[in-house]
Chain A
């Protein structure tokens, strides 16, 4: 075997998870039991394990700031364009209320946080989506922030890491949201032309127009175990083909098997995996 220790670290040894940026991301309403194996879960255990069930290793959702504290070296994350928030440009019914509720419940202005950070000493531009905010659907602001992150990465020549979760395009913004697929793909194309590394980390769930644009266009595509990843959601496919889908369908491991991903990585090993990738691409570790 090669000398890397990916797969060898214990969960609680990895990071400064409880400290620093975690304070900014109050996770609302933690589940009392694991949604997968139904084991009762204590909040403290969840924090220790980065919201991974200690028994069955089910990966629960992480808020954006929790994810940042998992990946970024302590107190190195510097957010930019944090003031951008959406408005109801199509006057779509109920959208104002939904935005307001999402902001209140997540404590975020929009479904993505972008900034610069160090990962194991390597400089990166880091974007993290938060599924608590309207299933992290992509409207104009989410699309804009992805482009801003890609452009910052180009400017600094720092690798771009995008931690993705999304239900797809934000229907309340109609075609403006669909066009974000083209807009973000264009930004990633320019990043590739500039020779800057781009790694995407697909978490549960990554679907629809987000998967069919910037999320799939990375040099290296990583996913968390058992994450649901697909273009069309399983319910719609079931309705179309009129029978039940196998349990592993559109799970990260299924995509790996079909050649759609590079790696499926446990959350506990995510940071060191990214650090290794950064090292392989000549990242600066000062």
Chain B
């Protein structure tokens, strides 16, 4: 049976509870088991560490999608001393699936955009499970223009299963909104740093993941389509998702090897899900480092280098 949820932490909690029960028992019966318990706890910690070091691609997919996975709003809260959310595309509406605004990061104003999935049921509905409509992408484009005007670097957080597949989205030009966002991201004359923090699914994710530096958290994933979609189309069998997650090369390590991303942030044991603070600190360091590199570049050189970086992707030579 294919797992549909990342359940290691639950199992771990059950084990932990058992050890605590054992401790309680030993106290009641006045037997000294402290040495054994210490050994057990040690062993459990090692199991946990090794588990997180050796997650399968499919487990990373599950972890990246898990509701306890920190999202753009969490990182913004950690990274920014001040924050103003800005709303609307000035054309149709305000897409809550994308959070966008201005954040003060180490005394530096940044334009920040990101997918937003929400955690509670109400939020998930309000944010459409992080699946943007065209107005979400157009809001991003509006803010990119502003960023250029005020020479503010752009930071993006990527976490979506994809752009929303619905009638209204098609009527309002989902494809052209994504295409134009790609073009805007690749040509904006300020530094763009993109953090793939959760699930990177298809074009709706890519629209926010074009920049000078693409950084992935070690348990985030990025794929051309979800393993479920690939599996049902290519294998005519939606159940073969684990094989598909393996074959698609969607982990951060795979993508670094393919030279499609620039850096991996190694999440602590338990992942960003269990240890947000330490993860966020690493994200902060990474952003600072890349901003230092990019801020000194002349805008034209910055854009030229970005063009060349994308031009090289999947470069092929004559047969």
Interface residues of A (CB under 8 A from B): 81, 83-86, 89-90, 92-94, 109, 139-141, 143-144, 147, 169-183, 185-190, 193, 208-209, 211-217, 230-232, 236-237, 240-241, 245, 249-250, 258-260
Contact = CB atoms under 8 A, between A and B. Distances in A.
B182 A182 contact: yes
Nearest to A93: B247
Contact of B187 (A189, A211, A250): A189
Nearest to A188: B183
A28 B210 CA distance: 40
Interface in B284-311: 306-307, 310-311
6 contacts: A81-B318, A176-B258, A182-B182, A183-B314, A185-B183, A209-B202
Nearest to A246: B167
Interface residues of B, number: 50
B166 A241 contact: yes
B167 A180 contact: no
Given A179-B310, A186-B311, A217-B180, A90 B247 contact: yes
Nearest to B163: A231
Contacts of A171: 224-225, 230, 233-234, 248
A172 B247 CA distance: 9
A237 B166 contact: yes
B311 A183 contact: yes
B193 to A, nearest CB: 15
Interface centre among B163, B174, B203, B260 (most CB of A within 10 A): B203
Contacts of B250: 174-175
A230 to B, nearest CB: 5
B175 A237 contact: no
A175 B179 contact: no
Contacts of A211: 175-176, 179
Contacts of B233: 171
Given A186-B306, A217-B180, A232-B166, 11 more contacts: A86-B316, A92-B248, A109-B319, A171-B225, A183-B313, A186-B186, A193-B187, A213-B203, A232-B174, A236-B165, A237-B170
Contact of B234 (A89, A172, A240): A172
B182 A175 contact: no
B207 to A, nearest CB: 8
Contact of B202 (A89, A178, A189, A190): A178
Contacts of B222: 175, 178
A6 to B, nearest CB: 24
B112 to A, nearest CB: 20
A190 B223 CA distance: 27
A173 B233 CA distance: 14
Interface of B: 163, 165-167, 169-176, 178-180, 182-183, 185-187, 202-203, 206, 210, 222-225, 229-230, 233-234, 243, 247-250, 255, 258, 260, 306-307, 310-311, 313-316, 318-319
Contacts of A169: 202-203, 224-225
A213 B314 CA distance: 16
A70 B316 CA distance: 30
A89 B319 CA distance: 14
A236 B310 CA distance: 30
Interface centre among A83, A177, A236, A250 (most CB of B within 10 A): A236
Nearest to B234: A171
A215 B229 CA distance: 23
Contacts of B229: 236
Interface centre among B176, B225, B311 (most CB of A within 10 A): B176
A113 to B, nearest CB: 15
A86 B247 CA distance: 17
B307 A186 contact: yes
Interface centre among B187, B206, B255, B307 (most CB of A within 10 A): B206
Contacts of A208: 203
A236 B179 CA distance: 20
Contacts of B179: 181, 185, 211-217
A231 B203 contact: yes
Contacts of A92: 247-248
B60 to A, nearest CB: 14
A140 B314 contact: yes
A230 B230 contact: no
A144 B224 CA distance: 17
Contacts of A260: 173, 176
A179 B230 contact: no
B89 to A, nearest CB: 15
Contacts of A183: 310-311, 313-314
B57 to A, nearest CB: 11
A175 B310 contact: no
Nearest to A170: B224
Given A175-B258, A179-B260, A189-B186, A84 B316 contact: yes
Contacts of B165: 231-232, 236-237, 240
Contacts of B255: 175
A181 B203 contact: yes
